[in-house]
Amino acid sequence: MPHHTVYEAKIEHLQILDEDGKLDKKLAKDTLSDDQVVYLYEQMRVCRELDEIAFKLQRSGRMGTYPQNKGQEANAVGSALAMVKGNDWVVPSYRENAALFMHGMPMHYVIQYWMGDERGSKFPEGVNITPLSVPIGTHMLHATGIAWSMKARKEADRAVITYFGDGATSEGDFHNAMNFASVMQVPCVFYCQNNSWAISLPREQQMNSATVAQKALAYDMPTIQVDGNDIFAVYKATQDARKRAIQGGGPSFIEGVTYRLADHTTADDARRYRDQAEVDAWLEKDPLIRTRKYMESVGVWDDKKQEELENRAKTIVKEVVDAAISVSAPTSSEFFDDMYAELPEDLRRQRDTMRTSSIGRDPSQIGLKAQHAEIKG
């Protein structure tokens, strides 16, 4: 047959909990219990409170910049619960705070990090999280490498999840990571938080594909698009992807369709490029609102519990901020000591003397002593 179809595909969209808090019970089977829903809602609410206080810290000059998670929290909590704390690895971008907290990162580390204290990236032993990654897309290569090492060591019950935005899928590192992960069939879950904006650039102007999820088809990778503001859909998609990974089925791709309700960071003003009507429409899809509607509909939540949570969130975040602000100042040696397991001699000399031995100070170290003397003469 000289002319025939060699490849066909489709992208499925999954929603289990709609904007009105109505649950598709058939699809929700074997996903989240009501207790787990309450737990995830509490995690989202605390994360939202942290966002609000971090914003105020930046505006009062106590923090350089900060990227709010507001509106995207369901992606983080739903996927984080599907992964196994202390066993799997989480490789984040910078808008997954709740997932990091759920996997053991002390909350005040996030505040330290955005205050410019790199000790906010030095996680306690046993916390399987890589540092926040501000460069767009580079960390996906690290996730693939970690997953490859798991496969090489025959750690069949472990997997990696890595988070990134729609803008990152336009980067070369994304494609390098996806291709390698697919070829080597590593246990990695690629989770794209598609919030429709790469800072000020709308998704439609950075890619011509109808979905982000279809990009995984080029790498023969199982892929799905989910309602990213639906904790049930996020949990199920990630649970399925993790199961596939640990059973030797290789990597998977998840596109969580969501929206950032705040600016890209505190250094941004989204009013300059976003239509307020668009923001208002997404406010009605807020994951906290729809989750609360569901909990109230099944009788596990009420105004009294909400008030208690609000107060508890304020107390937690206050303690977190106090811990970050009151931490002792770092020593100059810490800049060197955290970089290498065994410090090279030239850096050890810099650390101990607080002086550099670079070419600018000592040209003779690379054989330029004579030329240097001629220049002086």
- CA–CA distance, 194 with 202 (Å, rounded to integer): 11
Distances (CA, A) of 51 to 39, 67, 100, 219, 306: 19, 8, 14, 36, 18
Pick the closest to residue 224 from 15, 33, 78, 76 (CA basis).
15
Please confirm, yes or no, whether 103 is among the known catalytic residues.
Answer: no
Could you say which of 48, 95, 158, 264 is catalytic? Answer: 264
Distances (CA, A) of 70 to 28, 73, 89, 356: 25, 7, 24, 44
Could you say which of 271, 273, 340, 372 is catalytic? Answer: 273
Query: Bridge partners of 190?
Result: 162, 253
Please confirm, yes or no, whether 273 is among the known catalytic residues.
Answer: yes
Could you say which of 48, 142, 203, 260 is catalytic? Answer: 260
Please confirm, yes or no, whether 264 is among the known catalytic residues.
Answer: yes
CA 313 to chain centre: 22
User: Residue 230 in contact with residue 17, Cβ under 8 Å?
Assistant: yes
Tokens describing residue 356: 């550099």
Length of the chain: 377
- CA–CA distance, 147 with 89 (Å, rounded to integer): 9
Catalytic residues: 260, 264, 273
